[in-house]
Amino acid sequence: MNSLNRFTDPVYCLMRLIVGLMFASHGGQLVLGMFGGMPGSNNAFTQTGGWIQLIGGFLIAFGLFTRLSAFICSGEMAVAYFMIHVANATTPMAKFFPIASAGPQFSNKGELAVFYCWVFFFVFFYGAGRWSLDAIFCRKSTTVTPSVV
């Protein structure tokens, strides 16, 4: 198991890159009409969410202002889950289950919002990692400074 530890940083970077770009593509779909657009995405609430997804997704993907971006994006997905998916659920059972195998009447189709919420919450606590723009710009100086006694 310890032999896999050497892959921790590159795999985390790859995960952050893929999830961030996927999230940004959802924002591009809402704001720019990319990938076929999304019907009903022209109201202010959806446009605001789309810009958060687009900008936050790119920031997370490349590791710039990662913790702040991940916190905002995680919160946005929590709001989206409760204000859209749970609020529009057709049955009482669907309010509690983002995905259910019993049929669409028993799910609220919010599994992607829950996934993004928790992944970004993890990124918020884990940070950008070694392979990120945050790590490049925030490198500590290696010069020794004398301390005052």
pLDDT at 1: 61
From residue 1, alpha-carbon distances to 4, 5, 7, 129, 130 in Å are: 6, 7, 11, 21, 21
Whether this prediction's pTM lies above 0.85 is answered by no
pLDDT at 12: 95
pLDDT at 140: 64
Measured in degrees and rounded to the nearest 5, phi and psi for residue 129 equal: 90, 175
Q: What is the pLDDT of residues 53-96, one digit of tens each?
A: 999 999 999 999 999 999 999 999 999 999 988 888 877 777 77
The answer to whether residues 110 and 86 touch, using CB atoms and an 8 Å cutoff, is: yes
Q: Rounded to whole angstroms, how far apart are CA atoms 115 and 128?
A: 19
Annotated domain spans of the chain: 2-137
Quick one: tokens of 39? Answer: 């019907």
Provide the residue type at 106 as one letter: F
Residues (pLDDT < 70) of the chain are: 1, 40, 100-106, 140-149
pLDDT at 100: 67
Provide the residue type at 50 as one letter: G
Q: Rounded to whole angstroms, how far apart are CA atoms 59 and 63?
A: 6
